[in-house]
Amino acid sequence: MNIIISKIRERMNVTVLIQTLLAIVMPVGVYYGITVDDITSWSKLLNIFVQALLNPAVIIAICISLWQTFNNPTVCKFSIPEKVEIEKDLYDNKNIED
């Protein structure tokens, strides 16, 4: 169990956390047409999210949004994005013929 937690901690960064949060919050806001004026108390905000959890269309939109957050179309597996590293082979490519 500790190995799994340590691997998740290695791969999590601020960008992934913000994208995940937005992947959950934005479909709810768009579906219900929420504006800043609509959110005047914590109870209203909580009520909106409870309604969202009971609505299958919003749940599907959240799932699709989360899929787009974690999906990497350049590989054949589903994984949490790793820390961004510069692709060395882009700069060290000696196989280009003149």
pLDDT at 20: 87
Q: Which H, E and C letters describe 18-87, residue by residue? A: HHHHHHHHHHHHHHHCCCHHHCCCHHHHHHHHHHHHCCHHHHHHHHHHHHHHHCCCCCCCCCCCCCCCCC
- Residue 60's pLDDT is what? 95
Residues 6+ apart with CB under 8 A from 23: 62, 65, 66, 68, 69
The pLDDT assigned to 55 comes to: 93
Q: Is the pTM here over 0.75, yes or no?
A: no
Give pLDDT tens digits along the chain (98 positions).
676 666 666 666 777 788 889 999 999 989 988 888 888 888 888 898 899 999 999 999 999 998 888 776 676 665 655 555 545 555 555 555 54
Helix 42-53 and helix 56-70: axis angle, to 10°? Answer: 90
